[in-house]
Amino acid sequence: MEKENKATRKGSPPIKVYCLPEERHQIQANAQATGLSLSTFLLNVGIGYQVRGIVDNKQVEELARINGDLGRLGGLLKLWLTDDARLASVGEATIRAVLARIESTQDQMIHVMGTVVRPRAD
């Protein structure tokens, strides 16, 4: 009984794409951002698949750290706003400073989320 010869990608002729060095660099950067090889990236784009990027682990860790900071600051603020007599020495200036720090941390989180959603081109 003979084996049926199936066509394989490696056995098929390649498609050449002529591009400028800058264009090649951009295509390679896009492929790297998705975690795919250049060949797989171009094949997926060429046959109409939506290519999804991978999120950089460092950015995810940074978002988790910022989220933890916001949680701790919010908890501290909540504690200060209770009617506990031991915390009566916490003044308005301290509370305003914590609120400013929360706002700053939120801005930092928005910035990091922006780099995850819209990665910069290298």
> Could you report the per-residue pLDDT of 38-71, keeping only the tens digit for each?
998 999 898 888 776 666 667 778 888 888 888 8
> Is the pLDDT assigned to residue 122 strictly greater than 50?
no
| Structure tokens that stand for 97 in this block | 């400073």
Domain boundaries, the chain: 15-54, 57-117
Question: Long-range contacts of range 15-18, CB-CB < 8 Å, 24 or more positions apart?
Answer: 15/46, 17/42
Under 8 Å between Cβ of 65 and 112: no
Under 8 Å between Cβ of 52 and 34: yes
> Could you report the per-residue pLDDT of 79-108, keeping only the tens digit for each?
777 777 766 777 778 878 888 888 888 888
pTM higher than 0.75: no
